[in-house]
Amino acid sequence: MAERNEWTLDIGGMTCDHCARTIDATLRRLPGVFESRTAYPEGRSHVIAEPLVGPEALAAAIAPKYRVTGHSSRPLRSESGVAYGEVDLAIVGGGSAAFAAAIRAADLGAKAVIIERGALGGTCVNVGCVPSKTLIRAAEAVHRAGHPAFAGIRAQVERPDFGAVVKQKDALVAELQKAKYWDVLATYPSVKLVQGNARFLSDGMLEVNSEPLRARKILLAMGAHPWAPPIPGLAETPHLTSTEALALTELPRSLVVVGGSAVGLELAQLFARIGAKVTVLEALPRIVPSEDAEVSDALAGYLREEGMEIHSSVAVQRVSGNAGAYRVKVEEGGRAVTFEAEQLLVATGRRPNTSGVGLEEAGIRLGRKGEVVVDGHLETSRPGIYAAGDVIGDPAFVYVAAYAGSLAAENALQGNARRYDLGVLPRVTFTDPAVASVGLTEAQAREQRIAVAVSKLPLAYVPRSIAARDTRGFIKLVADEKTNLLVGAHILAAEAGDIIQQPAMAIRFGIRIDELAAMLHPYLTLSEGIKLASQTFKKDVAKLSCCAV
């Protein structure tokens, strides 16, 4: 039986959150202290320590700058050495879904424990959104410098110091991991963190680091990992996933990318703009195949104009080689073709992290791709156990995971009152031009026998794009002709992600296209394009002045 004390210390002398972090860092270095969580607004620290560590030692460690002005304690006894008594919600995983769930649990007055076996923060901050998007912006800076759109501007771009760019990316990842996860955790004393492995026993009991953990409810939020298809030779050939690609410190001279969806294209353009010769191979007839066909075709054209090779409808037959000399044999248009490159990136999707956790032994049903099967309240096939985020196989977006984590925690702790709803889900692919969409494509709307009305506005009619001398792309709106309501929006533009929320809200709240067209939009903004595209259903915008309503 492990014995520990939980001390609650009233702290004087703090002036900001940085003070709280300093106190925690100091106390965690003290021998016998296992955990310290200090909240500046409360002026209080919660410290778990061995019984021999008393308030005098804790006070001495942070003196003279900070003072312990009062204290109380309670003994903690636990068979597991993990939770020190039953917790309300045990969360397996430490990414966005997990943190959203823990914060919601804390808001509801519950005790929660996060169990994470890897880096805190999950995919997004460590190996996904944050590192990829900052590198994409770096690559864009290189491209813009070498391709000025304005007369009289000259620029000469040298090969970038890729190592320096990567160091800055790593520093940003570390900074945001600390600010958005470690520091946030410190502000919620009712949320504990255990770093280790979780596994279910056949009776549904959860073990953490081979010791039992008692929890009223459990949330699975283990995330997902890059997945590679069963291509002959691939398992024996060392290759890059998106994780390894973002960790490269040297720029390859050439790169073959297997996979033409969002992740593959974002990384492909990134490396191409920094100086690599890039070839993209996609098995389906179009890149970004889930998007509107016109968007896919136009994006492929723009990427080819930048010098990238885009091949769709190809079947990869075999891969071989290693770093520096890869060979990818494909069948394209009935003929055999071989592509060679210094690096090989396989970006063909992700699969949930559900192996090795004992889910099936505990009676938790999994789907065809290993995803945890949930109902409309995010509860699994075993009552009292919920799941959220990438582990349930839904679109791998951090905002979806956060929404699901919060909802699942609330349902677990307060009863299944809220239903999970992704009916209006905006999505963005961060190429340049970017792709943003929400709702149905034109083809999907026609398949559902909707009386379809379509408006397609080239960016050559949007004043902001004209002034910026970047008229690549278009805005395509799909509406129900009978109701005048939007059912889909598809945007190909330099900052498409910044304007997709307007049509998303129109779909969500039933705003008609004539109401969108009548709204006041600031002149010389990309969002004005939504107004113009809405007007295009009834008017020829070529015959309107820039001030027409």
Average pLDDT over residues 292-308: 98
Q: Which of 2-11, 141-150, 278-287 has the lowest mean pLDDT?
A: 2-11
The residue with tokens 């917790």 is 87
Q: What angle do CA 144, 148, 154 make, to 5 degrees?
A: 120
| pLDDT computed for residue 78 by the predictor | 47
Helix, strand or coil, per DSSP, at residue 44:
strand
- Residue 342: closest CA among 259, 255, 240: 255
> Of the candidates 329, 347, 365, which is a domain's last residue?
347
Percentage above 70 pLDDT, the chain: 97
Q: What is the mean pLDDT of residues 261-280?
A: 97
Mean pLDDT of 124-151: 94
Determine the 3-state secondary structure of 502 from DSSP. Answer: helix
How do residues 436-466 score in pLDDT, each as one tens digit? 999 999 999 999 999 999 999 999 999 999 9
Q: For residue 119, give the CATH number of its domain.
A: 3.50.50.60
Q: Which residue has the higher pLDDT, 50 or 257?
A: 257
Residues 399 and 441 in one domain: no
Q: What is the pLDDT of residues 57-101, one digit of tens each?
A: 899 999 988 999 998 887 765 444 444 457 999 999 999 999 999
d(CA 246, CA 175): 17
231 inside domain:
no
Residue pair 429/123 in contact (Cβ under 8 Å)? The answer is no
pLDDT digits (tens, 9 = 90+) for 347-394: 999 999 999 999 998 999 999 999 999 999 999 999 999 999 999 998
For the segment 329-351, what is each residue's pLDDT rounded down to a tens digit?
999 999 999 999 999 999 999 99
Residues 216 and 355 in one domain: yes
DSSP string, 145-205: HHS--STT-----PPP-HHHHHHHHHHHHHHHHIIIIIHHHHT-TTEEEEES-EEE-TTSP
Final residue of a domain: which of 347, 366, 383? 347
Residue 471 falls within a domain, yes or no? yes
Report the alpha-carbon distance of residue 129 to residue 59 in Å, rounded: 41
Q: Residue 235 domain-assigned?
A: no
Output the pTM of the full model.
Answer: 0.84
Domain of 34 in residue numbering reads as 2-78
Domain identity same for 360 and 212: yes
Of 397, 422, 447, the last residue of a domain is 422
Dihedral-angle region of residue 262 (phi above 0 means left; psi in -120 to 50 means alpha; beta otherwise): alpha
Give SS3 for 86. Answer: coil
Q: Which residues pair with 322 in a beta bridge?
A: 325
Alpha carbon distance 282, 127 (integer Å): 23
Q: How many separate domains does the chain show?
A: 4
Residues 172 and 220 reside in one and the same domain:
yes
